[in-house]
Amino acid sequence: MTSPGAGTMTGVHDRKTTIEEGTHLKGSLVSKCAIEVKGRIEGDITAPALLVTASGAVHGRVKVGEIRSQGELAGEFDANLVQLSGNVRDSTVIRAKSLEVKLASPEGKMQVVFGECSLEVGADAAQVDAQPRPLVARPISIRPPPSDANGN
């Protein structure tokens, strides 16, 4: 069992700081528990974990243990674990020991485009002092696996 604010976002009893939808915060936010963003934050964030919902946006400098984002990210992000399924704006830098990108489409086909951004993944990613290099990826198509004659 984890204690509140231990950096995980999975415990039932974990406490969290919530920025509700319709709320816009500018400035620095430091929390000893996870931060959930349903609204918008512009500024510096330090916390054990950051959850950005589909309606949320974070623009600024972030240093956390874990990021799970379904919303919009822009700026500079340092974390051990990053899980992305939302939008990452141009000129964004993400440094992580582990990066997961979740892709899903109800139509069975999608296009993924990374604009100018820097992704630094690995054990030493948080310690890299080099100037971020742009990463430009080409669009890709992702299709569901073929089904058999029974539709399985």
Domain boundaries, the chain: 16-141
Handedness of CA 137, 77, 90, 125 (dihedral sign): negative
Q: What is the pLDDT along the chain (152 residues), one digit of tens a residue?
A: 333 444 455 444 479 999 999 999 999 999 999 999 999 999 999 999 999 999 999 999 999 999 999 999 999 999 999 999 888 888 889 999 998 888 766 666 665 556 666 767 776 644 544 444 444 443 444 444 455 555 55
Name beta bridge partners: 65: none
Distance of CA 151 to CAs 51, 94, 103, 107, 148, Å?
37, 40, 22, 16, 5
